[in-house]
């Protein structure tokens, strides 16, 4: 374990939509303890929920017998969240969404998860760890107010 890591929280959730709220709430609680602003906590909740939904729907293909693992590791200034599934990986690279087409109804409004996660987090990485599944690694840095 990284010597800078102060605390680690581990969750194991069934692949059932709705259970992403448990991960979302846990991440928000940890971020609040660390001193993140409410705006950043909302960003984090959205990103964690999207990553969990992707793992449930695409990684584990809604198979409730498969688990989604969430590991939250905090340092003094960083919160890292790994959302891992037991699926076959991400496959082909996902193209960025065409927001105008989605807003205009020309494209399915779904398919924004990876885009949202990347927009909301400070660092994002998708890791294929076959044969055991894949992980989304989300990192958010605690930014101190100016003058501190």
- Residue 103 has what pLDDT? 57
CA distance 107 to 115: 15
- Residue 4 has what pLDDT? 86
- Residue 63 has what pLDDT? 93
- Residue 121 has what pLDDT? 97
Domains of the chain: 7-141 (3.30.565.10)
pTM equals: 0.83
Asked whether the beta carbons of 114 and 91 are under 8 A apart, the reply is no
- Residue 112 has what pLDDT? 66
- Residue 148 has what pLDDT? 45
- Residue 50 has what pLDDT? 95
How many degrees, rounded to 5, is the angle at CA 69 between CA 129 and CA 59? 55
Q: Tens place of pLDDT for every residue, the chain, 148 residues?
A: 566 889 999 999 999 999 999 999 999 999 999 999 999 999 999 999 999 999 999 899 999 999 999 999 999 999 999 999 998 655 545 555 555 554 566 655 556 688 899 999 999 999 887 677 899 999 999 986 554 4
Measured CA to CA in angstroms, residue 29 lies from 15, 41, 109, 147 at distances of 22, 9, 30, 26
Taking each helix axis from N to C terminus, what angle separates 20-34 and 38-54, rounded to the nearest 10 degrees?
Answer: 150
């Amino acid at each position: 374990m990284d010597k800078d890591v102060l605390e680690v929280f581990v969750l194991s959730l069934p692949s059932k939509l709705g259970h992403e709220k448990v991960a979302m709430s846990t991440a928000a609680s940890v971020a609040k303890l660390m001193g993140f602003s409410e705006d950043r906590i909302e960003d984090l909740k959205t990103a964690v929920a999207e990553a969990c939904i992707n793992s449930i729907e695409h990684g584990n293909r809604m198979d409730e017998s498969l688990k989604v693992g969430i590991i939250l590791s905090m340092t003094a200034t960083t919160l890292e969240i790994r959302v891992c599934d037991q699926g076959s990986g991400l496959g082909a690279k996902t193209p960025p969404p065409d927001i105008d087409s989605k807003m205009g109804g020309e494209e399915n409004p779904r398919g924004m998860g990876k885009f949202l996660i990347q927009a909301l987090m400070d660092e994002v990485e998708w890791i294929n760890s076959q044969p055991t599944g894949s992980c989304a690694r989300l990192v958010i840095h605690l930014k101190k107010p100016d003058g501190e």
